Structure 1
Amino acid sequence: MADTLPSHASVVVIGGGIMGCSTLYHLAKMGVTDAILLERNALTSGTTWHSAAQVRALRHSRNLTRMIQYSVDLYSQLEKETGQSVGWIQKGSLSIATTPDRLTHVKRQEALAHAYGIDAWSVSAGEAKERWPLMNAEDVLGAVWSPDDGRVSPSDVCAALVKGAKSLGAKIFERTGVTGILTENGRITGVETDKGTVMCDAIALCTGLWSREVGAMAGAEVPALACEHFYLLTKPIDGITGNTPTLSDHDSHLYIRDDSGGLLVGCFEPMGKPIAPGVLNESFEFGLLPEDWDHFEPMMMNALHRLPALETAEVKMLLNGPESFTPDGTFMLGETAETHGLFLGCGLNSVGIASGGGAGMNLAHAIVHGRTAYDLSEADAKRFAPVFNSVEHLMARAPEILGTHYDIAYPGKQLKTARDLRRLPLDAEYRKAGAHMGQVYGWERPLYFGKTAEPQMTFGRPDWFGNVEAEVTAAHEKAAIFDASPFGKIDVTGPDAEAFLARVCAGHVGRKPGSVIYTAVLNDRGTFESDITVQRLGAERYRLFVGTNAIKRDLAWFRRHSEGFDVALADVTEDYATLGLMGPDAARIAAACGAEGLDGIGYFRVAPARIAGIEVTAARLSYVGEAGWEITCAAAEASRLYAALTAGGAVPAGLFAQSSMRIEKGFCAMGHELDSDVTPIAAGLGFALRKAGGYIGADAVETARASGETARIVSLTLDDGTAVPLGHEPVYLDGKIVGQTSSCAFGYRIGKPVALAHLHHPLADGTRVQVDIARTLFDATVTCGPLFDPDGARMKPVPAEA
């Protein structure tokens, strides 16, 4: 390894595990040959060395799957490139099901695998037994076989990555501890170590268990916490010859494979054991934690049931090695909101080896090119609310996240820990109305109302079906209240407010005061960074409404593009409440509350008003396809406003009703239909773009338009009213996959299950297709546009009845 630190490096990678080694390798491959890696102990001495190192390609999204497929290809290529074996063993994986719901879950995964081009197919319990003869298969209902999965040697993979990086000029410094991070005006300038200072332009923070503390050196929030993680190793046993597939018995919280002629039995138990910050210090090198047989005992009983041979096996050890977990179970990758030039590659949630190759490539890509190679917004380093960086909340949440690793992906399932962190202004009123709450960006938001008992999780028609139907019916026939208070609100003020927004927004932000503008926020590739609603409240004053979980990301984006403009940006999210009053009875209710003039506000217009004596701004628009307003008032006045509206006959409605109505209207949403891989043209939103250009991404949009790109998001209506699509299902035409669903719900105004779907190529209106729900094909019809009220007549002003 290198001896003398350079005075400057373009990029400093901190941490010598799989993420650090992969990131350094890819930086060097991308031409950053002066990059260096700092490791305070020895390479792989944190958590990488004791990884079970499974590489299973399928993940819940196309791009996470694509990322791991890249890892598989990379690990194979490294052997040829460097001569260093990575210990790749490709014996496949077998996922068994012992309950009907688990069988549905694995069949949904099989369908997803087909959509993503991965080999996977269902096998019977008997066939599963043939592939794993030591397994007790008496209670197995079925399984899915994935032949291309495998495992590697973690230390060998890192050795190959390091060898490749060094051959290109990158340098590694072991036994070099970081003692401080230098910043100036919110930007990275250097790294202080116990061997000197290195000035740099960017830092890749790949410090695993210690990432939260190292990030704090640079003023950044990194919500990740270590938990204990267990696997049992036995001495050689009869029946294990050579290498076996990985056996996943997720109903028992177990994964199982061979190890040196014996067995490796690992678990993700329902509730893990957190490790408080500071317990694992700089001396924790190639370290393990004490065996805890009491904690492991329930998993051991499950293992004895699945593998009777364990009863006579000789135990080698119960390995207890720490792993880091995030508040939602997905890693953090990309630049932080707080500190420019600080990039995170951490919180791998025990899938570091599988993810490391592709995640390291994407992190290097983000550093060099300013973006990941493809959309990874679900892993965006800026996605967590600041409240989640609290040690108290992490200590509660991380153990549950460990346990959810093998959960069944039920629709509507909610986490139980670290709840009630942020309450809406109307929280008390909603709970009194029987709200079932869901957590979004730390906020507790009502999913539906009238709950009388905790809902049972199911893949069939949910317990809340009738509750949501009543809410949609109220909005459609009378009036309902949808709470948009947790949507991010950013005030943009100053002489250059219009010029600034004309640069960062693709929509018609130059409209006169009193206008509401829907606009895309694009990057230089002409794909979505965000989609927002803008209210022009004055000549030099705008209010931007952004997604609930996008406020940190979007605010960072706007601030970093505001240089050179005389504007001020302020996050006023918690200062105001916003209630959507929607339905044909909305005008009568508003008039009864003393706001007779409210109905005079034109479509996509905003104006000040008084409702029940409360100063508000009312914007005429609708996310649910019914006439009404989004009414914004001071947060402290929300209770009075809500009391007046409900006294007039409006009823509260939750997110499930809103989603159903949104999908019926064909309205796209970030993270579902829209992301940084999708252009407005492909999303059918070209009409909302300024023809004159001048905005970020305009040239790329015109290139896409000139190349013949067309809208590829369509609506689907399923014939079978009992079908329950959830999203990500493959769409078939004539036996071939032609697309995938993105948002799904029951359409109460349509009377059928409905979906929005991305197609690989346009299909004609009325085309008959099939949707694969857990390997059962359901007939559906394509509609090129909204399913409900396609001309939008119901969203326009409706005069109040006399």
Structure 2
Amino acid sequence: MPKSLPSHASVVVIGGGIMGCSTLYHLAKMGVSDAILLERNKLTSGTTWHSAAQVRALRHSRNLTRMIQYSVDLYSQLEQETGQNVGWIQKGSLSIATTPDRLTHVKRQESLAHAYGIDATSISAAEAKERWPLMNTDDVLGAVWSPDDGRVSPSDVCAALIKGAKNRGAKVFENTGVTGILTKNGKITGVETSQGTVMCDAVAICAGLWSREVAGMAKAEAPLQPCEHFYLLTKPIDGITGNMPTLSDHDSHLYIRDDSGGLLVGCFEPMGKAIDPAILDESFEFGLLAEDWDHFEPMMMNALHRLPALETAEVKMLLNGPESFTPDGTFMLGEASETKGLFYGCGMNSVGMASGGGAGMNLAHCIVHGHTAYDLGETDAKRFAPVYNRIEHLMARAPEILGTHYEIAYPGRQLKTARDLKRLPLDAQYRKAGAVMTQTYGWERPQYFGASNPPAMTFGKPDWFENVKLEVMAAHEKAAIFDASPFGKIEVQGPDAEAFLQYVCAGNMGKAPGSVMYTAILNSRGTYESDITAQRIAPDHYRLFVGTNAIKRDLSWFTRHSEGYDVTLTDSTEDYAVLGLMGPEAARIARDVGAPELNDIGYFKVGPAHIAGKHVRAMRMSYVGEAGWEITCKTENVGVIYDALTKAGATPAGLFAQTSMRVEKGFCAMGHELDSDTTPIEARMDGMCKKTIDYIGKTAVDQRREEGAKARVITLVLEDETAVPLGHEPIYLNGDIIGHTTTTAFGYRIGKPIALGYVHIDQPDGIAVELDIAREMYKGRLMVGPAFDPKGERMRKAQR
């Protein structure tokens, strides 16, 4: 190892586990030859060394799956590149089902695998036993076999990555603890260590269990929490010869594989055990926690049922090693919102070895190029509200997240811990109306109303089907209220407000005060960073409305691009409430509540009024395809306004109704149809980015327009009214996969299940296709444009 720290390094990687080693390797491979890695103790001494090291490719999204496929490719070729054996064993994985819903779940996984190009096949219980003879299959209903999955030796993989990094000039410093992170004007400038100070341009926090603490040195937030994680190791037993596939018995919360002729039996129990961070101090090197047989006993009973040979096996140890978990079960990757040049690669949620190769590549790509190699918005650390970083919330949430690893992925499933962190101003009224809540960015938001019991978890027709139908029909036939208060709000003020927004927005932001604009926010590649609605209140004042969980991300984006413009940006999210009043009776209700002037506001215009004597600003637009306004008011006034609207005949509607109506209208949404892999050309929103003046992404969009789209968004209407698509299902044409769904719903106004999605064929309008839902094929037809009111006449109709 080098003896002394350099005075400067382009990038400092903090942490010598799989994420740190992979990030350093890929930085060096991308030409950052002066990058260094700092490890407080020894490489892999945190959690990496005791990882069970399963590498299973399939994940819930295309790009997370793609990322692990990269890991598989990387691990399989590292030995050839470096001469270091990584212990890559590719014996496949077997996922069994012992309940009907689990069988549906694994068949949905098989469908996803086909959509993502992964080899996966449904097999019978008898075939599963052939692959795992020691398994009791009396209660097994079926299984899915994935032959390309495998496992590695964690320490050997890290050794190979470090060797590859050093061969390209990178350096590693063990026994070098970080004591401080230096910043100036919101940018990284250096790192203080136990061995001296290194000035640098960027820092990558890959410190595993300690990443939250390290981020705090830069006054940044990295919400993660360590929990105990258990696996049992036995001495050799009869029946295990050579290597076997990984066996997943998720109904029993277990994963199982051979280990040195014996068994490794690990679990993700329904509720884990959080660890006091103070226990994991700087002396915790290659450390383990105390065995806890009482806690493990229910899992042991499940294991004895599945593997009768365990009854006579001799136990080596019950390993209890800490792992870190985030508030939503997905890791953090990318640049922090608080500090430019501060990057995260942490909170791996026990999938560090599987994800590490691809995640390290993407983190290095982000540092070098300013963005990940492909869209990984679901891992963006800016997705977490500050409230999630509180230790009491992390201690409550992380044990539940550990348990969700093996839960059945039911639609509408909700977490139970760390709830009610942020309540809407109308929370009491909504709960009185029987609202079932979901949590977004800490906010509790109504999914639907009129519930007398918690919703049952099912893959079939949901028990809230009729509740949501009533809400949709209220908006379609009378009037409904949709609460958009949690949407982020950013005030853009100053003499350069128009010039600034013309540069950062693809749409024309130069319209007169009183105008409303919907616009894409693009990056230099011409793909989506966000989409927003903006009100021009005055020549020097705009109010931007951004997604609920996008406020930190979008405010950071705008702030970093405002340099050189005389503007101020202010987060006003909690100052204002927003109610969408939608439906054919909205005009009558406006008159009844003392605001007839609302009916004079033109489409995509905004104007002032008073409802029940309270000042509001209403914009005439619709996210649900019915005529109405989104009404903004001071938060303290929304209760009076809501009471007036409901007394005049409007009824509350939730997110499920809104999604159903959005999909019927073919409106795209960030994180579903829109992401950083997609341009407005693919999203069929070319017409909204044709202004002649320059804006971020204009050159790339113009080029894509000339080249043509790689895929385009479509609407898919299914024939079978009983079909229940959930999203990400593959779309087939003549036996070939041509695309996939993104957002799905039941379209109550058209009376059919409906989806938005992308297909890779020309002229898809009217084409008959099939949709694979848990390996059952459902007939449908593609449409270009909305399935409901394609000309938009209802929402543009003059209000009277």
Tell me if structure 1 keeps the 8 A contact 2:711–2:758. Answer: no
Partner of 1:220: 220
Partner of 1:98: 98
2:181 is the counterpart of 1:167: no
Letter in 2 for 1:493: Q
2:320 is the counterpart of 1:320: yes
How do 1:647-726 and structure 2 match up within 5 A? Answer: 647-709=647-709, 712-726=712-726
Letter in 2 for 1:218: A
Letter in 1 for 2:283: S
| Partner deviation per Cα, 1:446-505 (whole Å, 9 max, x = no partner) | 000001001110000001000000000000000000000000000000000000000100
Tell me if structure 2 keeps the 8 A contact 1:587–1:798. Answer: no
Tell me if structure 2 keeps the 8 A contact 1:475–1:626. Answer: yes
Distance 1:658 1:483 in 2: 10
2:190 is the counterpart of 1:190: yes
Tell me if structure 2 keeps the 8 A contact 1:234–1:264. Answer: yes
Distance 2:280 2:482 in 1: 46
Q: CA deviation at 1:3?
A: 1.1
Partner of 2:599: 599
Tell me if structure 2 keeps the 8 A contact 1:207–1:346. Answer: yes
Q: CA deviation at 1:760?
A: 2.0
Distance 1:249 1:225 in 2: 26
Q: CA deviation at 1:765?
A: 1.3
Partner of 1:268: 268
Partner of 1:449: 449
2:396 is the counterpart of 1:396: yes
Distance 2:18 2:381 in 1: 18
Q: CA deviation at 1:711?
A: 6.3
Distance 2:316 2:2 in 1: 38
Distance 1:329 1:683 in 2: 29
Letter in 2 for 1:411: P
Describe the SS at the equivalent of 1:311. Answer: helix
| Partner deviation per Cα, 1:366-388 (whole Å, 9 max, x = no partner) | 00000000000000011100000
| Partner deviation per Cα, 1:614-634 (whole Å, 9 max, x = no partner) | 100000000000000000000
Partner of 1:206: 206
Q: CA deviation at 1:651?
A: 0.1
Partner of 1:587: 587
Partner of 2:469: 469
Distance 1:702 1:691 in 2: 11
How do 1:49-448 and structure 2 match up within 5 A? Answer: 49-448=49-448
Letter in 2 for 1:343: F
Distance 2:764 2:238 in 1: 60
Describe the SS at the equivalent of 2:106. Answer: helix
| Partner deviation per Cα, 1:368-417 (whole Å, 9 max, x = no partner) | 00000000000001110000000000000000000000111100000000
Report the RMSD for the aligned CA atoms in angstroms: 0.7
Describe the SS at the equivalent of 1:639. Answer: helix
Partner of 2:733: 733
Letter in 1 for 2:766: G
Distance 2:336 2:502 in 1: 25
| Partner deviation per Cα, 1:147-184 (whole Å, 9 max, x = no partner) | 00000000000000000000010000000011111111
Tell me if structure 2 keeps the 8 A contact 1:602–1:797. Answer: no
Letter in 1 for 2:209: L
How do 1:715-794 and structure 2 match up within 5 A? Answer: 715-794=715-794
Tell me if structure 1 keeps the 8 A contact 2:507–2:691. Answer: no
Tell me if structure 1 keeps the 8 A contact 2:82–2:163. Answer: yes
Describe the SS at the equivalent of 1:274. Answer: coil
| Partner deviation per Cα, 1:221-266 (whole Å, 9 max, x = no partner) | 0000100000000000000110010000000000000000000000
Letter in 2 for 1:592: D
Describe the SS at the equivalent of 1:273. Answer: coil
Distance 1:640 1:731 in 2: 48
Q: CA deviation at 1:709?
A: 2.4
Tell me if structure 2 keeps the 8 A contact 1:520–1:530. Answer: yes
| Partner deviation per Cα, 1:570-589 (whole Å, 9 max, x = no partner) | 00000000000000000000
Sequence identity of aligned pairs in percent?
76
Letter in 1 for 2:264: L
Partner of 2:576: 576
Distance 1:75 1:246 in 2: 17
Q: CA deviation at 1:357?
A: 0.3
Tell me if structure 2 keeps the 8 A contact 1:710–1:762. Answer: no
Letter in 2 for 1:410: Y
Consecutive unaligned residues of structure 2, counting only runs of 5 or more, are none
Letter in 2 for 1:696: I
Q: CA deviation at 1:693?
A: 3.8
Q: CA deviation at 1:710?
A: 7.0
Tell me if structure 1 keeps the 8 A contact 2:508–2:691. Answer: no
Q: CA deviation at 1:691?
A: 2.8
| Partner deviation per Cα, 1:326-366 (whole Å, 9 max, x = no partner) | 00000000000001100000000000000000000000000
TM-score, reference length from structure 2 = 1.00
The alpha-carbon distance between structure 1 residues 273 and 87, as it changes in their structure 2 partners (threshold 3 A), is same
Distance 1:683 1:38 in 2: 43
Q: CA deviation at 1:597?
A: 1.5
Number of matched pairs:
800
Distance 2:293 2:277 in 1: 23
The alpha-carbon distance between structure 1 residues 710 and 301, as it changes in their structure 2 partners (threshold 3 A), is closer
The alpha-carbon distance between structure 1 residues 710 and 87, as it changes in their structure 2 partners (threshold 3 A), is closer
Tell me if structure 1 keeps the 8 A contact 2:191–2:200. Answer: yes
Distance 1:667 1:711 in 2: 17
Tell me if structure 1 keeps the 8 A contact 2:120–2:144. Answer: yes
Tell me if structure 2 keeps the 8 A contact 1:506–1:693. Answer: no
Distance 2:56 2:105 in 1: 16
Q: Which moved more, 1:109-118 or 1:754-763?
A: 754-763
Distance 1:371 1:695 in 2: 19
Describe the SS at the equivalent of 1:399. Answer: helix
Distance 1:251 1:746 in 2: 29
Distance 1:126 1:628 in 2: 59
The alpha-carbon distance between structure 1 residues 710 and 269, as it changes in their structure 2 partners (threshold 3 A), is closer
Partner of 1:23: 23
Distance 1:132 1:735 in 2: 32
Q: CA deviation at 1:300?
A: 0.3
Describe the SS at the equivalent of 2:490. Answer: strand
Tell me if structure 2 keeps the 8 A contact 1:628–1:797. Answer: no
Describe the SS at the equivalent of 2:598. Answer: helix
Q: CA deviation at 1:36?
A: 0.3
Q: CA deviation at 1:690?
A: 3.2
2:504 is the counterpart of 1:504: yes
Tell me if structure 1 keeps the 8 A contact 2:223–2:326. Answer: yes
Describe the SS at the equivalent of 2:469. Answer: helix
Partner of 2:488: 488
Describe the SS at the equivalent of 2:382. Answer: coil
Describe the SS at the equivalent of 1:637. Answer: helix
| Partner deviation per Cα, 1:109-158 (whole Å, 9 max, x = no partner) | 00000001000000001101111000000000000000000000000000
Distance 1:259 1:377 in 2: 36
| Partner deviation per Cα, 1:620-649 (whole Å, 9 max, x = no partner) | 000000000000000000100000000000
Describe the SS at the equivalent of 2:242. Answer: coil
Q: CA deviation at 1:278?
A: 1.7
Tell me if structure 1 keeps the 8 A contact 2:710–2:760. Answer: no
